[in-house]
Structure 1
Amino acid sequence: MSTPFGLDLGNNNSVLAVARNRGIDVVVNEVSNRATPSLVGFGPKNRYLGETGKTKETSNVKNTVGNLKRIVGLDYAHPDFSTESEYFTSKLVKTDDEKIGAEVRLAGEKHTFNATQLAAMFIGKVKNTVQQETKANINDVCVAVPAWYTEEQRYTIADAARVAGLNPVRIVNDVTAAAVSYGVFKTDLPEGEEKPRIVAFVDIGHSTYTCSIMAFKKGELKVLGTAYDKHFGGRNFDRAITEHFADEFKGKYKIDIRENPKAYNRVLTASEKLKKVLSANTAAPFNLESVMNDVDVSSQLTRDELEELVKPLLERVTEPVTNALAQAKLTPEDVDFVEIIGGTTRIPTLKNSISEAFGKPLSTTLNQDEAIAKGAAFICAIHSPTLRVRPFKFEDIHPFSVSYSWDKQVEEEDHMEVFAAGSTFPSTKLITLNRTGDFTMAAQYTNIDQLPKGTGADIAKWEITGVEVPEGEESVPVKVVLRCDPSGLHIIEEAYTVHDIKVQEVVPLPADAPEDAEPEFREVTKTVKKDSLTVVAHTFALDDKTLNELIEKENAMFAKDKLVAETEDRKNTLEEYIYTLRGKLDEEYAPFASGAEKTKLKDMLAKAEEWLYDEGYDSIKAKYIAKYEELASLGNMIRGRYLAKEEEKKQALRANKEASQMADLSAKLAAQRKAEAEAKENAKE
C-alpha cells in the first residue's frame, strides 16, 4: 500500500508531509530539519541534493541550481527570464525546445539539464527522504504549486514527478492546499443553511505573494477569488539587504562582492539571517570573516533602514488583496478572518500593511511553514483507494476563460467559450457537434489580452478519428466530453457518435385508472451512444519516448549517486576501523594477541593507512571492502578472543549474582520458617 505524500514545492525550502496513523505528519530530512532546501548541486563525482546542496553551495556556487519552480515550463524568451536570471548563480542556457536549462559540470564533464530534469532530481531526493523516514512505499504524490502556474507549468511539474518515479495524482494551488488543511481540522465551521465563513489567506513565501478568498462550510470549501504578485517575496528583501551592503563595503573596505560570486552568495545567505533577526528586533549587527581578499566586514542594519530599502516593494502590498476581493465581489468587511502563511509574513511591516488592508487583526491558526504540505498530503489521501479520510469537498476557480475550437465542417459556429473565468473546477461540459468526418479540436485562452505577459494562448490540441457518417446522411452528431480536471488541466475525456432509435415505452396510467387496466405502449425516439471515437491528445506533457529517456537518465544518475555514497561510507568504515583497532591493540586487546600477531597487524594497519591517504584516497568500493576484510581477517580474530573473555566474565558475574540471590533467598526463607516456628511455640504456651 502506498502512503499518500504531499509536497509543498517551495522556492527556497520545500516541506514534505504524509498521511498516516490517522493524521498528517511532516517528515524530517536526514539532518532532522522539517524543511529541505530546494537545491540541486553537481560535484566532481555525484550530485548534491537538498541539505547537501545547501552545505556545499558557497564552495560550489556555479554548479548549484536553486529557484527550481521559477524556471519550470518557462520559455527562454519569456519576459520573466531577465528577472529570474538575476537570482541564479549557475549558467542558464537555451535548450533545444527553446526552454531554460542550466549548464553545469558533473563528474568533470559539462552537462545541460532542462528544468524538468532539475525539478525531477529534487523531487526524487525528497521521495527518497520520505521513504527512508517512513519505511513505507511512496508512489502517489500531490504537488502544491503557485496559483499563477500556467497549464504548461503544471504539466511540466507532473512530468518531473513521473521522472522521479511518482504518480502525480493532483497538482494543486498552494494556497488552496493550505485552505484544505484549515477546513479539515477546524471544528467550528458553519453547517447547512448557515452563512459560510469567509476567510482570506495571504501567503508570502520566498518568491511569491498570493491572496485567496475562501468560503467555508463544514466539509467543504469554495475559492471565491485569487490574486497574486509573482515577483514579491522574501528573496526581494534578501537581495535589497545584500545590495545595500555591497555598496557599503565597496566604499568602506574597497571590495566589490558583485565581482565574486562566492562572496556575494555568502553575504546573501547572511542577509537572509539578518532579515529574520530584524523581524523580532529593531536592529541587528552584521559580521562576516574573510568575505573576499581576506577582508573581514562589520556593519549593522535597523528595521527602519530595511523598510526604506524595500519601500517600492511595500507599496505593492495591498494590490493582491484588492484584486482578490474584487474577483470575489466582496469588501474587506465581508471577510471574517485573515490567515497568514509563508515565512515572509513574519516581517512586521508586511503584517501591519496586510492588517490595515483588511481592517482587522491577523490570525495564525495554521503553521505558517507546514500548512500547505499538510493540505497536499490530505488531498493525496483523498485520491487513495485504500485509505478512508474525512469527507471534504473543495472547488478552485478558473483564473482565465477557456474556449474550444474545431474544424468548420457544417454551417455552425467553429468555437465556443466553455469554461468562463471565475467558474469552478473540477468541472465537465458536454457539447454536441455535427461532423462530416474526422476532425480536430483545440483549447485556447479566450482573451489573450488578459493573460500575464509572455503567456501563449494555446493550451492543447486533439485529433478525433473514427467518425462514420451513415449512408444518405450529410453529417453525424458527435458528443464531446470536455473536462477541466482536478489539477486545472483541460482535457477531452471522451468523444462518441450518437444516433436515434425507436423504442417502446409504457404510457403512464391516469390517476383514476382501474387496478386491472392494461398498460398501453407508445413509440418514442431516443438518442443513444453509437460508436466511441479515438482521441489523440497533443498537450504540454512529454511524449512517452522522451519521458522514458529522462527516466532512464535519472535512474542512472541516482544509481551513480548511490554508488558514490556507498563507496564513501566504505572508505569511512575502513578509516574508522584502522584507528579503532590500532588504539585497542595496545589496550583492551593486548592480552589476547601474541607478539607476532601484534607486529603483523600493526604493519598491516600502517600499510592500509598509507594506501588510504595515497593511491586509495579516490578508489572504488570493492577495494575498500577488500582492504577492510584483509585487516578484519586477523583483527576480528583478536577481537573475538576479547569478546569471548568478556562474555565469560559476564557469565561468571551473572552466576555469582544468581548464587548470591539464591543464598539471600534461602536465608530469608529460613528466617521466615524460624519465625513461624517460634510463633507456634509461643501460641502453645
Structure 2
Amino acid sequence: MSVVGFDLGNESCIVGVARQRGIDVVLNEESKRETPAIVCFGDKQRFIGTAGAANSTMNPKNSISQIKRLLGRKFADPELQDDIKAFPFRVSEGPDGFPLVHVRYLGEERSFTPTQLLAMVLSNLKAIAEGNLNSAVIDCCIGIPVYFTDLQRRAVIDAATIAGLRPLRLFHETTATALAYGIYKTDLPENDQLNVAFVDVGNASMQVSIVGYKKGQLKMLSHAYDRSLGGRDFDEALFKHFAAKFKEEYKIDVYQNARACIRLRVACEKLKKMLSANPEAPMNIECLMDEKDVRGFIKRDEFEQISAPVLERVKGPLEKALSEAGLTTESLHFVEVVGSGSRVPAVMKIITEFFGKEPRRTMNASECVARGCALQCAILSPTFKVREFQVNEGFPFSVALSWKPDAQNNESQQTVVFPKGNPMPSIKALTFYRSSTFAVDVLNVDTDDLQITHKISTYTIGPFQSSKGEKAKLKVKVRLNIHGIVSLESATMLEEEEVEVPVSSTSEVPKDATRMETDDAPQDPASSSANPS
C-alpha cells in the first residue's frame, strides 16, 4: 500500500513518500526535487511538469500554469479576473459560469476545465512516485491551502479521482508544516503548552498559523491568510518596473508579445532571488523582442520601494492569527518561516519586527508541506507504524444551516452547526418537525473574506408522510468530513421505527468531473444535537 504526500504548489509540486526509515522527497525524471505545475499542449503530444516548463517559452499560449488559482472559482470572481490578465493563455467563461481554458492541441482548438488540468498534473506526480516506489500508488494525502472553499476542495478530490488516486485526507498546508515540525521533537512539554507561529509565504499566497504543542499532540489555535500575497507579487512589481523602463529606453512594449512577457517574468524571478542575497543586481536579456538586447540594474532599496504596496499587506495576517489565538507576542515561544516568498529580506524584517523575535528556519522551506502530508498519510495508513502523535485540526470557517419554518412566515431561521475552529471530522444531528418536503441551505457565515461564497449548497428533504397524520419528527445528520467538505448526510423519520427520508442536493459544482462520495478515513466524530422548531 502506497504512503505518499503531494504538495500541490501554484508554481511547483513536491512528492514525499514514507519509508521504514522516514520521509523521502522523490526525484523526478530530471533528478530534481521540485516539479513545475505546468501542462504544455503541442501539435503532436502533451508535455507535463519539467517537460512542460522546457516547452513553455516556445509555446506560451498553449502552456497552462497557475492551475491552482483557477480551480473551483467562478469566472466572474474579481480576483480570478486579475489573475487572467497576466496569463498568456486564453480563459473564457463556460456554460456553468466556471472558467474554461482554451488551447491548440493535436492540430485543433480544445478547451479544458481547471479540474481536468489538475488531474493531468496529479497523474504526472503519481507516475513520479510509482517510478520511485516500483509499485502502484493509490492512497495519498494532498496538501491544500487553508482558505480553499467547499467547491475547491471538491474539485481537488475530483481531479485526484480522474488521476486514479484516493486521497485519505486533504490536509491543510499549515497543519502539514506543523506536523512535520512537531512529530520529531522529543522535548515537547507534558503540561505546559509550547506555542509556535508558522508563517508560510508561498508563490501566490500567504498563510499564518499558530499551533500549541504538548507531548504527543498538536492543536491548531488559529489560521489567517492573504490568498493573493506571495513571491509572484514581488516578481510582478519588478516586471512592471522593467517593462516601463524598456519601453522608454528601447522603445519595445513587452505586453504585445507573450514570449517576451514570459522571458521577462523569468528574468525578474531570478533578479528577486539575487536581491535576497545581494544589495544590488543586474539584468541582461538577449533578443528580448524585435531582436533587441536589453540591460537593467536595480538596488535592493529600490526593489523594496516599488514592492511597498505588497509589503504593507504582510502584517495583516500576522495580526489576525495572533488575535484569534488569544495570545500575545510574549507568549509565543518560536516563529518559523517557510515558503519560497519568505526569502525576501524585507518580508523577514516585517515578521521580525512584529513578533519581536528572530524567525527560525529549522525546516526545509519548500519541502515541509510534502513531508507533513506523507506523515499524515502514514498515520492514516495501516501499513506503517508511526509514533503516537495526535493532530487536533480546526475548520477555518463557520458553517450554518438555514431553513424556512413550516408556518406562513417567510423569514428564514438558521443555526451554526460547525463554528470556526470545529474539530475535523465531525457529525452533528438536528431534529425537525415537518409536515411536507422542505429545503435546507448550507451556508458560510461570520467571515470577512469576500471571496468565500455565502451559500455552499441546498438540500431538499422529502417526500415523507407521517403515519400519525401529524407533523413528522425528522432527525437530520450533517457531516463535516476529514477533507473539510460539509454535506447533509441523511434524514430519518422517527416514529415507531426509523424510516429513511430521501435527501437530494442541488449543489452548484463545475460539470466536468466524476462526482465522488468522500468516504472518510477512520474518524472520531464530535456529535451533538439541536432541535430547530
TM-score by length of 1: 0.72
Look up the SS of the partner of 1:202 in the other structure: strand
Q: Residues 421-462 of structure 1, C-alpha deviation per residue, up to 9 Å, x if partnerless?
A: 343332222222223344433211234xx3432432211233
Match of 2:472 in 1: 476
| Mapping of residues 413-562 of structure 1, within 5 Å | 414-447=413-446, 450-465=447-462, 467-471=464-468, 473-499=469-495, 530-539=498-507, 546-547=513-514
* Contact 1:437-1:469 within 8 A present in 2 as well: no
**Residue 335 (structure 1) aligns with:** 332
Amino acid at match of 1:373: A
1:400 touches 1:451 (CA, 8 Å); kept in 2?
A: no
Q: CA deviation at 1:541?
A: 5.7
Letter of the 2:52 counterpart: G
Tell me which of the two structures has the higher relative contact order, counting C-alpha pairs closer than 8 angstroms and 6 or more residues apart: 2
Structure showing greater radius of gyration is 1
Q: Which has the higher strand share?
A: 2
1:654 counterpart residue number:
none
Q: What pairs with 1:216-615 in structure 2 (closer than 5 Å)?
A: 216-406=213-403, 408-409=405-406, 414-447=413-446, 450-465=447-462, 467-471=464-468, 473-499=469-495, 530-539=498-507, 546-547=513-514
Unaligned runs of 5+ in 2: 517-533
Secondary structure of the structure 1 residue equivalent to 2:17: strand
Q: Distance in 2 between matches of 1:411 and 1:171?
A: 42
Q: What is the DSSP-based 3-state SS (H/G/I as helix, E as strand, rest coil) of the residue aligned with 1:425?
A: coil
- Which residue identity lines up with residue 161 of structure 1 in the other structure? A
Distance 1:31 1:540, change over 3 A: farther
Taking the aligned partners of 2:386 and 2:408, their CA distance within structure 1 comes to 50
Secondary structure of the residue aligned to 1:279 is helix
Trace 1:608-647 onto structure 2 (pairs within 5 A).
none
Aligned to 2:117: 118
Q: 1:410 deviation in Å?
A: 6.8
Is the contact made by 2:96 and 2:510 (CA closer than 8 Å) also made in structure 1? no
Deviation at 1:548, TM superposition (A): 8.3
**Conserved? CA contact 2:162–2:513, under 8 Å:** no
CA distance 1:313–1:366, shift in 2 (3 Å): same
Q: In 2, are the aligned partners of 1:156 and 1:540 still within 8 Å (CA)?
A: no
- Whether contact under 8 Å (2:395, 2:423) holds in the other structure is yes
Quick check: 1:342–1:369 contact (8 Å CA) kept in 2? yes
Separation in 1, partners of 2:391, 2:407: 40
Quote the residue 1:107 is aligned against.
106
Matches of 2:452 and 2:56 in 1, distance apart?
33
**Can you list the C-alpha shifts for 1:84-139, whole angstroms capped at 9, x where unaligned?**
11331101111121111211100110011111111111111111111112212111
Q: 2:27 matched to 1:17?
A: no
Cα distance between partner residues in 2 of 1:152 and 1:539: 9
Instruction: Answer with 405-414 or 263-272: which moved more.
Output: 405-414
1:165 corresponds to which residue?
164
| C-alpha contact 2:426 2:481 (8 A) present in aligned 1 | yes
Please tell me the residue identity of whatever aligns with 2:247.
K
Identify the range of structure 1 (479-488 vs 150-159) with the bigger mean alpha-carbon deviation.
479-488
CA RMSD of aligned residues (A): 2.2
- The structure where helix makes up a greater share of residues is 1
In the TM superposition, what whole-angstrom CA distance separates every residue of 1:332-390 from its partner, at most 9, and x where no partner exists?
11111101010111111111110111011111121110000111112222332433323
With 341-350 and 531-540 compared, the bigger mean Cα shift is at 531-540
| Shift, 1:17, TM fit | 0.9
Deviation of 1:23 after TM superposition, in Å, equals: 1.7
Q: Give the TM-score taking structure 2 as reference length.
A: 0.91
Q: Deviation of residue 320 (structure 1)?
A: 0.6
Q: Is the 8 A contact 1:183 1:218 kept in 2?
A: no
Post-superposition Cα deviations, 1:183-224, rounded to whole Å, max 9, x if no partner, equal 212221122xx1211110000010101111111112221111
The aligned amino acid for 1:292 is M
Measured at CA, do residues 362 and 259 of structure 1 come closer, stay the same or move farther in structure 2, by a change above 3 Å? same
Letter of the aligned partner of 1:301 in structure 2? I
Uncovered stretches (5+) of structure 1, i.e. residues with no partner: 501-528, 550-685
**Which whole-Å CA distance do the structure 2 matches of 1:211 and 1:267 have between them?**
31
User: Which amino acid is 2:484 matched to?
Assistant: G
**Counterpart contact for 1:40–1:53, Cα < 8 Å:** yes
- SS, match of residue 269 in structure 1: helix
- The Cα offsets for residues 550-580 of structure 1, whole Å up to 9 and x where unpaired, read as xxxxxxxxxxxxxxxxxxxxxxxxxxxxxxx
- One-letter code of the match for 2:498? K
Q: CA deviation at 1:499?
A: 4.2
